[in-house]
């Protein structure tokens, strides 16, 4: 103990008290929990965005392939189901007919009775048919197929399975071989 002007000063050389350590640890814990929550939320958002980006990329590739093959078709035939389409080709293309259909939540491409998945998590696939005067053809049969000059396609994909589409693609396909 040292004396300074008649006052005793006690020098504490023991370090931090237990209460001081608990308060510091509590504050540090709150800061770490806040940072973990912030970064985990950001990571979840990034992962969700990546899934949606991949689904959008796959949906565009599927739509592009479907549009290309439908555009080259001679006859496009649909039954009463608006989620199925059959494309017949001119003899010079030497292609077998292709069928695009929605099977549950999978869009499938069928050639020679062999079906291959094109894209998953499809909520709906709709085809609307139009003639050369842009009048909608509601019932497409074998006899109506040569009248089709344009097809409107709507593809909706639900990545997170919450019953609302995350990706919606619309396109019109003008048949190149219309009237042949």
Residue 92 reports pLDDT greater than 70: no
In a domain, 77, yes or no: yes
pLDDT at 131 (0 to 100): 85
Residue 180 reports pLDDT greater than 60: no
**Which residues, at least 6 apart from 114, have a Cβ–Cβ distance to it below 8 Å?**
none
Q: State the total domains in the chain.
A: 1
- CA 106 – CA 151 distance, rounded (Å): 21
Q: What is the mean pLDDT of residues 94-121?
A: 86
In a domain, 7, yes or no: no
In a domain, 33, yes or no: yes
In a domain, 102, yes or no: yes
In a domain, 10, yes or no: no
In a domain, 13, yes or no: no
In a domain, 6, yes or no: no
Domain span at residue 161 reads 20-174
In a domain, 4, yes or no: no
Q: What is the mean pLDDT of residues 12-39?
A: 89
Q: Above pLDDT 90, what percent of the chain?
A: 27
Most confident of 5-14, 26-35, 148-157: 26-35
């Amino acid at each position: 103990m040292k004396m300074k002007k008649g006052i005793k000063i006690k020098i504490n050389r023991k370090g931090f008290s237990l209460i001081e350590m608990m308060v510091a640890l509590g504050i540090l814990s709150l800061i770490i929990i806040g940072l973990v929550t912030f970064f985990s939320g950001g990571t979840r958002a990034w992962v969700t965005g990546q899934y949606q980006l991949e689904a959008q990329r796959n949906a565009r590739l599927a739509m592009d392939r479907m549009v290309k093959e439908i555009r080259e078709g001679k006859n496009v035939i649909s039954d009463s189901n608006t989620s199925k389409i059959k494309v017949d080709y001119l003899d010079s293309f030497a292609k077998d007919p292709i069928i695009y259909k929605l099977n549950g939540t999978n869009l499938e491409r069928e050639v020679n009775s062999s079906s291959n998945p094109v894209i998953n998590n499809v909520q709906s696939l709709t085809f609307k048919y139009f003639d050369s005067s842009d009048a909608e053809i509601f019932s497409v049969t074998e006899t109506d197929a040569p009248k089709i000059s344009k097809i409107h396609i709507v593809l909706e994909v639900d990545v997170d399975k919450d019953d609302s589409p995350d990706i919606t693609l619309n396109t019109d396909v003008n048949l190149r071989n219309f009237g042949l």
